[in-house]
């Protein structure tokens, strides 16, 4: 039983972060697309800003992935 | 990957990086082999189309230092892009992207962060560069280290993750499905160089404020978030 629980620990570190990041990315993308359709003339600038914002959110998931991989290696 | 490949992976990464660098040098030489014309055509047109975006980014940071900033950004971008695209080559050893092994992205991130400081020193002098590292307090040094970590981990996580998913899919269903995964892998492979370059632009914009603007507010398309 303990072994099975230990296997799930890395997954449990990753899942909440991934869910939270998905929600944040949804907000970023929808707001950016909203802005792009309202003002197509600044679409290129909004796109680059959106990419940077998405990358910053995505970094958190990757930190979590690294921690999960380290935990998996220890388990 | 077989045990032999895993054993020699660090060397494979270096060799693949060198191959990509050689390819880029050859492409650069080919693009500028003929005398440059005022009205570009053919190769010169293609090369200028690629460089245009970097020149625009460099101009948004510091319009007078485009020749210093744009080549730095373009080199980082093209090296990462071509390294990522190695994954789609149908050649066994050659198709290991150097960015999928942590040393590769870490080296690129160190080059980006140190390059930002060197460009800052060239444009504003050594004292300004030291001030950039230690101002407003020495903890800024930790921020520089965290920039290195975040840049490298982001690139590594995306490319290595994509490769891991592709190899798992290949084990589970050898025909058809890996093709879809590899095709989807082209998205992070082409988006990550843009992200890496844009974040470097962001770091540069905070290190080298545009003339007449206060530090930390570079203006242009990618203003740092408050």
Provide residues of A within 8 Å CB-CB of chain B: 44-45, 48-49, 51-55, 58-59, 61-63, 65-66
Percentage of chain B modeled with pLDDT above 90: 35
Nearest Cβ partner of B202 from A45, A52, A59?
Answer: A52
Chain A positions touching B203 (Cβ under 8 A) are none
Q: Is B157 on the interface with A (CB under 8 A)?
A: yes
Shortest alpha-carbon distance between residue A49 and chain B (Å): 6
Nearest Cβ partner of B157 from A44, A49, A65?
Answer: A65
Contact between B116 and A17 under an 8 Å Cβ cutoff? The reply is no
Query: Domain of A31?
Result: 2-74
Q: Smallest Cα–Cα separation from A51: which of B191, B200, B7?
A: B191
Shortest alpha-carbon distance between residue A41 and chain B (Å): 13
Tokens of B214: 């206060």
Interface test with B, best of A55, A63, A64, A72 (most B CBs within 10 A): A55
Confidence of residue B224 (pLDDT cuts 50, 70, 90): very low
pLDDT in tens, B166-190: 888 889 888 888 889 889 989 889 9
Could you tell me the CATH number of the domain that includes residue A55? 1.20.20.10
Q: Is B219 on the interface with A (CB under 8 A)?
A: no
| ipTM for the whole complex | 0.74
Nearest Cβ partner of B153 from A44, A48, A66?
Answer: A66
Number of domains chain A is built from:
1
**What is the average pLDDT across B136-146?**
86
Angle, helices B66-85/B9-31, rounded to nearest 10 degrees? 130
Contact between B199 and A52 under an 8 Å Cβ cutoff? The reply is yes
Chain A positions touching B59 (Cβ under 8 A) are none
For residue B28, is it left (φ>0), alpha (ψ between -120 and 50) or beta?
A: alpha
Q: Is B222 on the interface with A (CB under 8 A)?
A: yes
3-state secondary structure of B54: helix
pLDDT in tens, B23-78: 999 998 888 887 878 877 778 888 888 889 899 989 988 888 889 999 999 999 99
């Amino acid at each position: 039983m303990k072994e099975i629980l230990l296997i799930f620990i890395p997954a449990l570190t990753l899942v909440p972060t991934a869910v939270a990041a998905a929600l944040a990315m949804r907000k970023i993308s929808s707001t950016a697309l909203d802005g792009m359709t309202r003002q197509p003339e600044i679409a290129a600038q909004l796109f680059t800003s959106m990419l940077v914002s998405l990358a910053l959110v995505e970094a958190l998931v990757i930190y979590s992935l690294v921690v999960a991989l380290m935990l998996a290696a220890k388990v | 990957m077989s045990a032999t490949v895993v054993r020699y992976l660090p060397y494979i990464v270096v060799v693949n990086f060198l191959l990509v660098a050689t390819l880029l040098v050859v492409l650069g030489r080919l693009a500028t082999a003929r005398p440059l014309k005022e009205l570009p055509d053919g190769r010169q047109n293609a090369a200028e189309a690629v460089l245009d975006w970097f020149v625009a980014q460099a101009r948004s940071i510091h319009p007078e230092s485009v020749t210093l900033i744009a080549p730095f950004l373009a080199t980082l971008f093209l090296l990462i892009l071509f390294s990522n695209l190695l994954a789609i080559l149908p050649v066994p050893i050659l198709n290991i992207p150097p960015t999928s092994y942590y040393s590769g992205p870490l080296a690129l991130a160190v080059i980006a962060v140190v390059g930002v400081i060197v460009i800052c020193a060239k444009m504003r002098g050594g004292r300004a560069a030291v001030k950039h590292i230690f101002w407003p307090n020495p903890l800024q040094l930790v921020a520089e280290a965290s920039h290195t970590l975040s840049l490298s981990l982001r690139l590594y996580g995306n490319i290595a993750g994509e490769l891991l998913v592709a190899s798992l899919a290949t084990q589970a269903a050898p025909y058809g499905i890996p093709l879809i995964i590899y095709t989807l892998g082209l998205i992070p492979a082409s988006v990550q160089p843009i992200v890496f370059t844009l974040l470097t632009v962001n770091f540069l914009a905070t290190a080298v404020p545009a003339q007449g603007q206060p530090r930390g507010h570079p203006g242009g398309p990618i203003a740092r978030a408050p």
